[in-house]
Structure 1
């Protein structure tokens, strides 16, 4: 996901001071880097979950090396960092890799049943 796509589909931080989610479904954004071992570890888990929750949530990936502006907007200091964005309410950031079961639980709690 590019910074421009983020501003169109998630949140345009240049035009809005207050959080205003632009998406149709809850979203999960994975901030990662190609050289990051924990990022590589959770990538296949996110692929699986993307299929499992197809049509219920949107899962995006943001390469922190290529999208430095977007990474700085969210203060990304460690990767992977996962941003859980419910349809209503404020997004929540989770730093560090998560096991599949913990990630599924977080998706259910923060996005599906929010």
Structure 2
């Protein structure tokens, strides 16, 4: 009798799990379809809903921010305004906690500071070049001078203070 109840209980739990996953997948498919429809129509979603942070790779970084192959011993910034680079991983809890704070800063300083993200799992070369040993690691880059490197989940105030420092270095 206990075996039957246990089997029924496990079967019921499996069924609910499957239904929850299916419902979640249906929601994701509906959202994906809605996003596709939105981007295909002339009245696209407002820019405020889009991320203000650009995900970049090594090629973009070398072409637009710092060519570490051309200047391996000296940081020569190629950008047109101060920048922030967040080195992160999708599985990292502190990285996920930091993300909305950086997104808010990117929106607040849009057109004044460029904010980028580098996934260290996908860009191991960049993680090595920048000496990323712990994540999140955020690099605040002034127009001139040495970038400021921080490690860990920063507070919104710490982000604001460091942005102020890179502005002073103009």
TM-score by shorter chain over 0.5 = yes
Larger relative contact order, structure 1 or 2 (CA cutoff 8 Å, min sep 6): 1
Number of aligned residue pairs: give it: 113
* Deviation, structure 1 residue 113: 2.3
Q: Greater share of strand residues, 1 or 2? A: 1
Give the match's secondary structure for 1:13: coil
Larger radius of gyration: 2
Task: Tell me the TM-score normalised to structure 2 length.
Answer: 0.65
> What does residue 27 of structure 2 align with?
none
What do residues 14-68 of structure 1 show as CA deviations (whole Å, max 9, x unaligned)? 1113221000001000000000000000101111110100111100000000000
1:69 aligned to which of 125, 143, 151: 125
- Give unpaired runs (5+ residues) of structure 1: none
Task: Tell me the TM-score normalised to structure 1 length.
Answer: 0.95
Q: Is 1:113 the equivalent of 2:168? A: yes
The separation in 2 between residues aligned to 1:75 and 1:102, in whole angstroms, is 21
Give the match's secondary structure for 1:103: helix
Cα RMSD, aligned residues only: 0.8
**1:20-35 alignment to 2 at 5 Å?**
20-35=76-91
- Give unpaired runs (5+ residues) of structure 2: 1-55
